[in-house]
Amino acid sequence: MYRPGTRRPRKTRIEGQRWLRSDGTPNFADHVYRKEGDVVLVAKKELKTASPVTPVLELAETMSYNNIRSIPVVNSKLELEGLVLSMSIVNYFGGGELYNIVVERHQGNIYSALKEPAESIMIREPITVNVSSKITELLKIMVTEGIGVVPVLDLENKLYGIITERDLVEYFSEKPETNVKVEDVMTKDVVTIDISANLKKAAETMVKLGFRRLPVVEDGKIAGMLTSKDIVRFIGDHRVFEKAPSGKVEEALSTPVSEVMSKIAYTIGPKEDIAQAARYMMEKGVSSLLVVVDEVLQGIITERDILYGMLVKAKAE
């Protein structure tokens, strides 16, 4: 977990830092450098922002309506104050130590808690790049720091845009074949959650392990996918209030994951090229695919896995 007001921590991959040299730096393939370019080629300039006093409910509404998972927090001078991620809201909504604010400051009242300002849950001093940075610099930061969203600042340190893993996967997915297979980069030890579990359990699992998504299983078979965006959407479209008739957030947190998850979980075979996986993700608007053989779950591949597979060579053992 991280303390409110600090940078987001590095994530630990279950199978280790497969894509780093022994000194902790990325081992980039030569073709990355041949395609080096300014981050402005990738940065999204039309983005939603919030102020430090924007209520949590409004943050969730904006994320839900615009299908995004990050909102930069800026002041009146467009200077970056912080960054709110979908996982920030999951942490606040029962998943981690930010939930203490709900319990102690708002006595567990959901109506009061969702009025809490963005500055209470935002990541202060998020890692950034500026408009003169190169794509390779950005990739090194994302790999070594384990982050998927990076704000871009102009030369006056004002917010210029934002770059996500998805933007980079799209940017580098022009090659029809990479000769890297899904099975080469997928995570084999997949953490799942049972369909009978509630949102409190799901949120706690996501925050504890640093995962934005959990495959949902029923009797050992895949029943759907629960993501941090699904939980934010549950709040943003106000369904959360229907599940808390007394106004207590614990009532909403007892909602079964089956009522919030997506019942469609897209799959791919382990022998497919990761370029095909990238195209399939973009086509379906998802950030991960379950790797399945004969209806048996073999692993999961995410945008980050694809990005690493396209851009990084594992050091020979």
Structural domain including 226 reads 182-311
In a domain? residue 8: no
Q: Are residues 194 and 225 in the same domain?
A: yes
pLDDT at 170: 82
258 domain residue, yes or no: yes
Residue 260 clears pLDDT 90, i.e. is over it: yes
Confirm whether 12 is domain-assigned: no
The pTM assigned to this predicted structure is 0.85
Instruction: Give a yes or no: residue 14 inside a domain.
Output: no
Tell which of 131, 164, 197 closes a domain.
164
At which of 164, 193, 224 does a domain end?
A: 164
Label residue 114 by pLDDT band (50, 70, 90): very high
Residue 2 forms part of a structural domain: no
In this prediction, what percent of the chain has a pLDDT beyond 70?
85
Structural domain contains residue 228: yes
Least confident span in 86-95, 137-146, 192-201, 277-286: 137-146
Q: Do 114 and 194 fall within a single domain? A: no
- Looking at the fold, whether 154 and 209 belong to one and the same domain comes out as no
* Residue 52 is assigned to a structural domain of this protein: yes
223 and 286 both lie in a single domain: yes
Determine the Cα–Cα distance for residues 214 and 83; give it in Å rounded to an integer.
23
Same domain? 120 vs 239:
no
One domain for residues 159 and 39: yes
Structural domain ending residue among the three candidates 111, 137, 164 = 164
Q: Identify the CATH number of the domain in which residue 134 sits.
A: 3.10.580.10
| Arithmetic mean of pLDDT, 289-315 | 80
Residues 188 and 301 placed together within one structural domain of the fold: yes
Question: By percentage, how much of the chain surpasses pLDDT 90?
Answer: 64
Beta-bridge partner residues of 73: 50, 82
One-letter amino acid of 84: V
Shared domain for 202 and 103, answered yes or no, is no
- Rounded mean pLDDT, 91-117: 96
Residues 92 and 153 in one domain: yes
Has residue 274 been placed in a domain? yes
H-assigned helices in the chain: 30-34, 56-66, 86-90, 99-100, 106, 110-113, 135-145, 165-171, 182-185, 199-209, 228-236, 239-242, 249-253, 274-284, 303-311
Under DSSP, the state recorded for 40 is G
Say if residue 114 is in the same domain as residue 201.
no
Domain count, the chain: 2
In this structure, are 134 and 186 located in the same domain? no
Whether residue 142 is found in the same domain as residue 202: no
Determine phi and psi for 71, rounding to 5 degrees.
Answer: -140, 115
